[in-house]
Structure 1
């Protein structure tokens, strides 16, 4: 009986160490490649950088459009811009206009 008791004690300690080692390995692996791990955070940072650049580009485009809209307001109407937009929309050309085709 004493031999069996020692065998059970050794097996229990071995099982405890195996479970603890497995838990440490699992949580370490999840901390590195899991959904919230180091690899995922690097991917999130790269995506944030890409989206920030896209946001800056869109802000510039919006500022350009807002500036053109301001030029078309009734108190600051720019006749040249109005003429240019009308010709583009209608497809008309003035006899003195020069057409340059780019392909």
Structure 2
């Protein structure tokens, strides 16, 4: 009994299925919801959100500074004058208004 050198259909099917599964999982690892490309997108978005957080923290610090300067414990007369002019439209007696 001699064995034929022709591969059987079962081994061919096994290799085709293994190749298809390997291709699928490789594609999913690169392009999927949890793949490499999505990870890069998430990291870029996280960087943008960190910049927004830093900007908002600076804005909060500036607002807290203005609030503290207008508090009862500490009154900044220049800031009070500026706020009275912008909000109430007040002028000093020695100023001339040109419209």
SS of 2:24's partner is helix
Corresponding residue number in structure 1 for 2:61: 63
Equivalent of residue 74 in structure 1, options 67, 72, 75: 72
Aligned residues: 92
Corresponding residue number in structure 2 for 1:12: 10
Partners of 1:46 and 1:64 in 2: CA distance: 28
Equivalent of residue 25 in structure 1, options 23, 26, 47: 23
SS of 2:92's partner is coil
Structure 1 portions without partners, runs of 5+: 1-5
SS of 1:75's partner is coil
Corresponding residue number in structure 2 for 1:50: 48
RMSD value over aligned CA atoms? Answer: 1.9
**1:98 CA drift (Å):** 7.7
Could you state the TM-score of these two structures normalised by the residue count of structure 1? 0.80
Corresponding residue number in structure 2 for 1:3: none
Q: Deviations over 1:26-73 (max 9, x none)?
A: 000110111111100000110011110011000000000001111111
Larger helix proportion of the pair: 1
**1:87 CA drift (Å):** 1.1
Structure 2 portions without partners, runs of 5+: none
